[in-house]
Chains A and B, each alone.
Chain A
Amino acid sequence: MLIVKNLNSGYGKLQILFDLNIEVPDKGLTVVVGPNGAGKTTLLCSIMGIANIFSGEIMFNNIPLAGELTYNLAKKGISYVPQMGNVFAELTVLDNLHMAGYLMPRDEAKDKAAQMTDIFPVLKKFILRKAGTLSGGERRMLAIAMGLMKNPKLMLLDELSTDLAPIIAEKVMMEVSRLRDELGITILMVEQMAKRALEIGDTAYLLVSGEVRYKGKADSLLHEPELCSMYLGIKPPADKKNSYALPTPEEGSE
């Protein structure tokens, strides 16, 4: 669905990504993990036309995206949920949803907003409240709902769990896997909560200093002790030094 080929990009004259190659398969959850400053957010910004692309290709369903203006990408079915500032704080929750469905006819946007409040019932309670008054978790739900408003073919999610309490972050992660499983949306997710993201993801990329260090199955990356401890801060369990596997149902019930 999305292919990034030999991408070199950054901001102004500062290059952040170096010859990056990434493929996001259809209807899958692709996870990009890596330490701070690895260029994870820059990757999403490059796809969205926010960062400067120096060379390389970004193809979405065989259509080149490089050089495209940000607002045109929404028309192509790409939805982006930024890490920070992912809601309009000064607008009501309802206006936020309507703005996310800006390209739709008014009636369709209204129906879609009602549908979103069914999927995320927490938003129904605060529908006329300013988004800036919502809690961190509620804001994140609103941000995902806004991303979904556009009926996206591809969603780009940038560090959804940042600043959230672990229990809320877990809820957000469950929502993300539900989007893939129930709605069949293709997702490219950048995440700091690496362990949980790799558990729910299909394909993973480990980004370090703007370059890909690992590419493969998401849960297989959890079996790379060196990469995990060096770049992701994931330590092997005390009793199983070389295993990062999730507990089996039997183990879990013990």
Chain B
Amino acid sequence: MTPWMSSGLIYASGLALTAGSVTLIYITTRTFNFAVASMATIGFYVSYTGVILYGGLPYKYYPFVIIIGSIVGLICYYGLNRHLLRRRAAEITLMMSTLGYDLVLLSMIQMYTDFLTKTYKLFPRRVTMNIYDFELFGEKAAAFILPFIAIVFLMGLHMFLTKTKFGVAMRATIENPVLAGASGINSDRVYLVAWVIGGGMAALGGAFIAMAQTGTPVMGMFIIPLMFAGAILGGLGSLYGGILGGFVIGMTEYAGVFYLAQRFGPWVLGYRMGIPLMLMAITLLIFPRGLAGIPLVKLFGLLAGKKRGVNA
């Protein structure tokens, strides 16, 4: 692997999950979730706490990361989002309410890091998680394991959405909430599951990202523009588009920084976030519906022998 690729794969897998989380919650509940930032940070701190207090590799704590993230999503839905949805709040109100929730979570993360510092004499405000990783074929093992975990997670999600009755009901509600309600599908339960899955995805994504970058209490706040950029690049209407968008944004950042720094010097590092955001802007100028709207995706579908009219 080239030097940027191993870290890029880890980071892009994390961004793919967080962008997927943003998209899933948006297409089900119309809520652009700012709390994804702190959800991701919480995911990182759950894996960090596990490694520091109980030892072993970070990977074995990922089930807990997903559970805690899901609980954070569940609380956001029951404590906030559900009441606003029932009152048919505008999208801007829904979005700003999650910003408030994010600030509450951020404060709790700060308190938790203080607790770790005072009680266990740790330094949780700047953490390099990849020192707890091992090497595989001369690379960080995370470069192989994390994309694999992300693919397994997303395949599981795909199976859930296409093969289970409730999963199909979720897709039906996403497409047409009125008709789904008239069919007897409980939209309340669909929204709850979207928040639970979205919370778990965001937390797992955060735990991944911390394997490539320094973990801090404000880690999520720094990366949130890229999480949203991934979701927007994916077209916002398509879960798979959002996941692909997050991955493309992550890989572009690492590849762009590496090659541009080689060509123009290390000062480029200061503008690393601008590279994927420029890619997003250019893509949207050419394809306003994002990656999901690129005819090439349909073309691949046709080449794969799918029937006419299949959407990516």
* Alpha-carbon distance A48/B178, docked complex (angstroms): 9
B309 CB contact (under 8 Å) in A49, A74, A106, A132: A132
- Give, as a whole number of angstroms, the nearest-CB distance from B252 to chain A: 29
Question: For residue B309, which residues in chain A have a CB less than 8 angstroms away from its CB?
Answer: 130, 132-133
Question: For residue B185, which residues in chain A have a CB less than 8 angstroms away from its CB?
Answer: 71, 99, 102
Question: For residue A88, which residues in chain B have a CB less than 8 angstroms away from its CB?
Answer: 171-172, 175-176, 179-180
Interface residues of B in 185-223 (CB under 8 A from A): 185-187
Query: Are B182's CB and A73's CB within 8 A?
Result: yes
* Alpha-carbon distance A133/B306, docked complex (angstroms): 13
Query: Are A85's CB and B184's CB within 8 A?
Result: no
B310: Cβ under 8 A from any A Cβ: yes
Whether A99 touches B175, Cβ cut-off 8 Å, given contacts A48-B182, A74-B183, A133-B308, is no
Nearest B residue to A95, CB-CB: B168
As a 0/1 sequence over residues 133 to 155 of chain A, the CB contacts with chain B under 8 angstroms (1 = contact) are: 10000000000001000100000
Stretch at the interface among A15-23, A75-83, A177-185, A196-204: A75-83
A124: Cβ under 8 A from any B Cβ: no
- Give, as a whole number of angstroms, the nearest-CB distance from A190 to chain B: 15
- Give, as a whole number of angstroms, the nearest-CB distance from B69 to chain A: 28
* Alpha-carbon distance A99/B182, docked complex (angstroms): 10
A89: Cβ under 8 A from any B Cβ: yes
B169: Cβ under 8 A from any A Cβ: yes
Number of chain B residues close to chain A: CB under 8 A: 23
* Alpha-carbon distance A87/B175, docked complex (angstroms): 10
Query: Are A130's CB and B310's CB within 8 A?
Result: yes
- Give, as a whole number of angstroms, the nearest-CB distance from B208 to chain A: 30
Between A70, A73, A100, A129, the greatest number of chain B beta carbons within 10 A of the residue's beta carbon is seen for A70
B128: Cβ under 8 A from any A Cβ: no
Query: Are A71's CB and B168's CB within 8 A?
Result: no
Between A75, A88, A103, the greatest number of chain B beta carbons within 10 A of the residue's beta carbon is seen for A88
Interface residues of A in 68-119 (CB under 8 A from B): 69-71, 73-75, 79-80, 82, 85-91, 95, 98-100, 102-103, 106
Whether A79 touches B182, Cβ cut-off 8 Å, given contacts A71-B187, A90-B311, A133-B309, is yes
Question: For residue B308, which residues in chain A have a CB less than 8 angstroms away from its CB?
Answer: 133
As a 0/1 sequence over residues 275 to 290 of chain B, the CB contacts with chain A under 8 angstroms (1 = contact) are: 0000000000000000
A50: Cβ under 8 A from any B Cβ: yes
Query: Are B310's CB and A99's CB within 8 A?
Result: no
Query: Are A91's CB and B168's CB within 8 A?
Result: yes
Question: For residue A86, which residues in chain B have a CB less than 8 angstroms away from its CB?
Answer: 179
B165: Cβ under 8 A from any A Cβ: yes
Nearest B residue to A70, CB-CB: B181
B121: Cβ under 8 A from any A Cβ: no
B307: Cβ under 8 A from any A Cβ: yes
Question: For residue B88, which residues in chain A have a CB less than 8 angstroms away from its CB?
Answer: 12
Query: Are A99's CB and B183's CB within 8 A?
Result: yes
Nearest A residue to B310, CB-CB: A130
A106 CB contact (under 8 Å) in B165, B180, B182: B165
Query: Are B182's CB and A82's CB within 8 A?
Result: yes
Nearest A residue to B190, CB-CB: A71
* Alpha-carbon distance A82/B179, docked complex (angstroms): 7
Given contacts A12-B88, A71-B182, A88-B180, could you give 16 more A-B pairs where the C-beta distance is less than 8 Å?
A48-B182, A71-B180, A73-B182, A74-B182, A74-B183, A80-B182, A82-B178, A85-B178, A89-B175, A91-B172, A95-B172, A98-B165, A99-B185, A102-B165, A102-B183, A106-B165
Interface residues of B (CB under 8 A from A): 88, 165, 168-169, 171-172, 175-176, 178-187, 307-311
Nearest first, the 7 A-B pairs at minimum CB distance are A74-B184, A70-B181, A103-B184, A80-B182, A133-B309, A71-B181, A99-B172
